[in-house]
Structure 1
Amino acid sequence: MDGRTMTEAQALARVEQIIKETVAVVRPEPRLDLYAPSLNSNMCLDPTDGGSEDRIVVNRSYYLRGIPQGKISEVVGQIKKHWEQQGYYISGVSANGRNMTGRSRPDDFLLSLLSAYDGDDVVLSMGASSPCIWPDGTPEPSSSG
């Protein structure tokens, strides 16, 4: 392997694709509300591939707004079914069934669906994170020559 990865732009496009394709199957269709702190790329702190920590991880998270409270569990079920139909691996589901993690196949993006209280209401958020990548798709030149 020559260390090449997808670029930051490609990773962001894939993150957005996963989220938008998932939300498109949800009824009633929620309004996406970007979680602003997810706009930044993060350092690759725990590379699962044994590679460099000098890479980055691209992620986005959105609140899924406009889902009636009585439909939350149904929407979670719709998302789980969609992920399974895409061949994604569901790696965890909470006891109440409202929090879920998974991985896309074959590109191994981390997926999350979380529920939280916003006042008295439950609100869902969905996120996707890339594997560790080089911003330009290729390793930075090493200065240790």
Structure 2
Amino acid sequence: MTRVGPERWEPLKAALLALGVATLSVGCGQDVDVTTPTITRVAAEQQADAELAGLERVLPEGIRHEAPLKGESGCYHGDDNGTDGRVQPTRTDILKGLPSERTDEIYAAVRTHLEASGFKVSEDVKGHLAGNKAANGFTAVLHGSLAVGDYLRLTVLAPCVWPDGTPTPKS
């Protein structure tokens, strides 16, 4: 497990909160057939890394970001108690280093990239942009601003997957 220093804790807390909201809104919904095989956790992580890298390439020159925060949450289905054994890998990039006047430029670049990459923009309001990719079930979210005391969080969420791709039988 990676230890997070105090200088990264506040952005991490905010990113995890945003991620939790995104997971609840787009995560492992009740309309999913949990008996169907999925890609593996490793494949989902690799695709999340690739989607995030593609988004990072369209960011304006001068933006600063550290290595993406790698996370995972358990998935829920229907009225079951607790997680169902599937996982949802996530990647979050904290973006800083440009004047706040460039926030709109970043949102426009990310929106253009999402649409060109097969994502359907599902939400686009001041300070929050989200898109879903029907082809593979991935979601990308840009949230926040470059205002003093704030930062942008760029998050890619994989769909819920079985760790080895094979559904686990209920016991």
2:93, 2:156 → 1: CA distance? 9
Contact residue 98 and residue 146 of structure 2 kept, 8 A? no
Choose from 59, 69, 88 the match for 1:26.
59
Contact residue 33 and residue 65 of structure 1 kept, 8 A? no
- Structure 1 gap ranges (5+): none
What corresponds to 1:78 in structure 2? 109
Change (3 A) 1:68 1:116: closer
Superposition deviation, residue 63 in structure 1: 0.6
TM (normalized to structure 2)?
Answer: 0.68
1:104, 1:91 → 2: CA distance? 10
Superposition deviation, residue 89 in structure 1: 0.5
1:130, 1:67 → 2: CA distance? 28
1:7, 1:84 → 2: CA distance? 26
- Provide the secondary structure at the position in 1 that maps to 2:66: strand
- Structure 2 gap ranges (5+): 1-32
State yes or no: 1:92 paired with 2:123. Answer: yes
Deviations 1:119-140 (A, max 9, x none): x244211001111100111122
* Structure 1 or 2: more helix by fraction: 2
Choose from 22, 28, 46 the match for 1:13.
46
- Provide the secondary structure at the position in 2 that maps to 1:58: strand
1:14, 1:35 → 2: CA distance? 14
Q: Which amino acid aligns with 2:140?
A: L
Superposition deviation, residue 60 in structure 1: 1.3
RMSD between aligned residues: 2.4
What corresponds to 1:126 in structure 2? 154
Q: How many residues align?
A: 134
Moved runs in structure 1, 4+ residues, more than 3 A?
Answer: none
Choose from 120, 127, 136 the match for 2:164.
136
Superposition deviation, residue 116 in structure 1: 4.9
Q: Which amino acid aligns with 1:136?
A: D
- Provide the secondary structure at the position in 2 that maps to 1:16: helix
Choose from 29, 36, 39 the match for 1:3.
36
Q: Which amino acid aligns with 1:59?
A: T
Change (3 A) 1:41 1:123: same
